Amino acid sequence: MRLDRFLSETTSLTRSLAKRALKNGEVTLNDEPIKQAATHIDTDSDVVVFNGARLALVGLRYIMLHKPADVECTARRGLYPRVIDLIDLPKAERLQPVGRLDVDTTGLLLLTDDGQWSHRVTSPRHRCAKVYIAELDEPMDEEAAELAIQQVADGIMLDGEETPTQPATLRFLSPKQAELTITEGRYHQVKRMFVALGNHVNALHRRSIGDVVLTDELAPGEWRELTPEEIASF
């Protein structure tokens, strides 16, 4: 790999700042000062030091974030802060959210730079279960709840769509709080499912994706790396 590219991949320097750091003599290669940006290095065996630290390429990264409300899952800067602004890692902008949560939805969000893994988690073919807690506008009595549970289990037609939702599981935790487990990720799916059931979601929180569960260890806005077991579970 070219030295200037290696510097920009392993630090927060842009390619042109990496070239400048090289010109300024701030980088050594195998203990010798090096100024040529086009030098090819072996990223496994060559020792590149910048600012007193040996640089190394990071592998693929897998993160879980407790997404707070009013933070967006987009890459563009817009009205709200972006989820990647909460991840204080070099090159965080290379991480992509694995599926999206609405700006007002809270809870578990996975991020990675591994496109194949992301596809495994989100592809409807893999039927990965996602569990949401919905705070509802209207209380549902026992009879309405039983009907809704059956409709969700059978699959319901969402406004503007041609195929019903995949069978899903609905459980009422109280008359105005429901746990919905779905295996797809259609646009605003949970909110639209409750609209189809004649209700409205006032607040939505994602508790888990597959075997990865958001627990109290992460406060809103906090993140951690997934464990090897969690990564391998998809």
Q: What are the catalytic residues?
A: 102
Task: Return the closest-CA partner of residue 81 out of 91, 71, 73, 89.
Answer: 71
Q: Whole-number minimum distance, CB 128 to ligand URA, in Å?
A: 13
Beta bridge partner(s), residue 72: 82
Q: Which residue from 5, 120, 188, 207 is in contact with ligand URA, where contact means CB under 6 A? A: 188
CB of 183 within 8 A of CB of 168?
yes
Q: Which residue from 19, 66, 191, 205 is in contact with ligand URA, where contact means CB under 6 A? A: 191
Q: Which is nearer to ligand URA, 71 or 92 (CB)?
A: 71
Q: Which residue from 48, 204, 214, 226 is in contact with ligand URA, where contact means CB under 6 A? A: 204
Spatial separation of the C-alpha atoms in residues 25 and 192, rounded to whole Å:
58
Task: Return the closest-CA partner of residue 52 out of 21, 27, 18, 20.
Answer: 27
**Looking at 16-24, 112-120, 139-147, 182-190, which segment touches ligand URA (CB under 6 A)?**
182-190
In order, the DSSP letters of 28-43 are EETTEE---TT-B--T
**Looking at 57-65, 153-161, 187-195, 226-234, which segment touches ligand URA (CB under 6 A)?**
187-195
Residues sharing a CB contact under 8 Å with residue 22, sequence separation 6 or more, in sequence order = 3, 4, 7, 34, 35, 36, 37
**Size of site (CB under 6 A) for ligand URA:** 8
H/E stretch holding 19 reads helix 15-23
Other C-beta atoms within 10 Å of 135: how many?
A: 15
Q: Can residue 169 be called a binding residue for ligand URA (CB under 6 A)? A: no
Q: Which residue from 190, 196, 209, 226 is in contact with ligand URA, where contact means CB under 6 A? A: 190
Binding mask 97-136 for ligand URA (x = CB under 6 A): ----xx--x-------------------------------
Q: Whole-number minimum distance, CB 74 to ligand URA, in Å?
A: 13
Residues that bind ligand URA (CB under 6 A): 101-102, 105, 188-191, 204
